[in-house]
Structure 1
Amino acid sequence: MSIKEWKDVAYGPYERNVLDAYLADRGGERTPVLIYFHGGGYLGGDKSEILSHDYMSGALEAGISVITCHYRFISQEPYPAPMNDGTRAIQFVRYMADEWGLDPDRVASAGTSAGGHIALWNALRGNLANPDSPDPVERMSSQVSAFLGNGTQVSKDQRFYEGIYEGPHIQPNLPLYYGIPSVEDLSRPDILKLAEEASAITYMSENAPPAFMDYVFPLTGTMIPADAPVGEVIHHPMHGYVLQKRYEEYGIPYVLRHSGDPAKPGEKLQFLLDHIG
Structure 2
Amino acid sequence: MQLRLARIGSLSLLLTACPADADTDSATGSATTDAASSTTSSDATTTTGDLPTSTTADPTTGTTAEPTTGTSGDSTTATATTEATATTEAATTTEATTTDATTEATTGSVEGELGCAPADQFDFASYLADDCFCGDACDCYRNVPYGEAASWNEPTLDDLEIHQAVDIYVPKGMSQGPAILWAHANGSSKTINPGSGLATNALMPALEAGQVVVSVEFRHPVTNYDIGAPRTDLVDAVQFIRCNAPTLGVDPERIAGMASSRGTLMLWTAVQPELADPGSADPVKRQSSRLLGVYAAQAQTSYWGQWIADTFYDPALHDLLLMQLPADDVALGHAVGDVDADAPRVELVYVDPLAELPITLQTIGMVDPVHLPNFGDELCKAYAAAGHGEDCTVHYEVAQNAIHAGSVTFFADLFGG
Give the TM-score range, shorter chain.
Answer: 0.7 to 0.9
1:256 match: 394
Q: d(CA) in 2 for partners of 1:154 and 1:76?
A: 21
Question: Contact 2:202–2:405 at 8 Å: present in 1 too?
Answer: yes
Q: d(CA) in 2 for partners of 1:148 and 1:107?
A: 12
1:46 match: 189
1:182 match: none
Amino acid in structure 2 at the alignment position of 1:126 = P
Amino acid in structure 1 at the alignment position of 2:379 = L
Could you list the runs of 5+ residues in structure 1 that have no partner in the other structure? 176-185
Instruction: Classify the secondary structure of the residue corresponding to 1:241.
Output: helix
Amino acid in structure 1 at the alignment position of 2:412 = L
Question: Contact 2:297–2:404 at 8 Å: present in 1 too?
Answer: no
Question: Contact 1:211–1:254 at 8 Å: present in 2 too?
Answer: yes
Q: d(CA) in 2 for partners of 1:110 and 1:146?
A: 9
Question: Contact 2:143–2:166 at 8 Å: present in 1 too?
Answer: yes
Instruction: Classify the secondary structure of the residue corresponding to 2:330.
Output: helix
Question: Contact 2:351–2:403 at 8 Å: present in 1 too?
Answer: no
Q: Does 1:113 align with 2:255?
A: no
Shift of 1:171: 7.7
Could you list the runs of 5+ residues in structure 2 that have no partner in the other structure? 1-135, 152-162
Q: 1:35 aligns with which of 178, 181, 184?
A: 181
1:98 match: 246
Q: Which has the higher helix share?
A: 1
Q: 2:166 aligns with which of 19, 29, 32?
A: 19
Question: Contact 1:7–1:20 at 8 Å: present in 2 too?
Answer: yes
Instruction: Classify the secondary structure of the residue corresponding to 2:228.
Output: coil
Measured against aligned partners, the alpha-carbon deviations of 1:91-135 in whole angstroms (never above 9, x if no partner) come to: 00101101110010001112111211x211110003211111111
Instruction: Classify the secondary structure of the residue corresponding to 1:72.
Output: coil
Q: d(CA) in 2 for partners of 1:103 and 1:90?
A: 13
1:268 match: 407
Shift of 1:151: 1.0
Q: Does 1:65 align with 2:212?
A: yes
Q: Does 1:240 align with 2:391?
A: no
State the TM-score, normalizing by the size of structure 1.
Answer: 0.81
Q: d(CA) in 2 for partners of 1:128 and 1:78?
A: 20
Q: Does 1:10 align with 2:120?
A: no
Cα–Cα, structure 1 residues 18 and 196, in superposed 2: closer, same or farther, change >3 Å?
closer
Question: Contact 1:152–1:235 at 8 Å: present in 2 too?
Answer: yes
Q: 2:321 aligns with which of 170, 176, 182?
A: 170
Q: Does 1:142 align with 2:277?
A: no
Question: Percent of aligned pairs with the same residue?
Answer: 26
Cα–Cα, structure 1 residues 172 and 4, in superposed 2: closer, same or farther, change >3 Å?
farther
Instruction: Classify the secondary structure of the residue corresponding to 1:248.
Output: helix
Amino acid in structure 2 at the alignment position of 1:246 = A
Whose Rg is larger?
2
Amino acid in structure 2 at the alignment position of 1:91 = Q
Q: d(CA) in 2 for partners of 1:62 and 1:88?
A: 26
Cα–Cα, structure 1 residues 196 and 75, in superposed 2: closer, same or farther, change >3 Å?
closer
Shift of 1:30: 0.9
Instruction: Classify the secondary structure of the residue corresponding to 1:256.
Output: strand
Amino acid in structure 2 at the alignment position of 1:203 = D
2:338 match: 203
2:364 match: 228
Cα–Cα, structure 1 residues 17 and 264, in superposed 2: closer, same or farther, change >3 Å?
closer
Shift of 1:260: 6.3
Shift of 1:45: 3.2
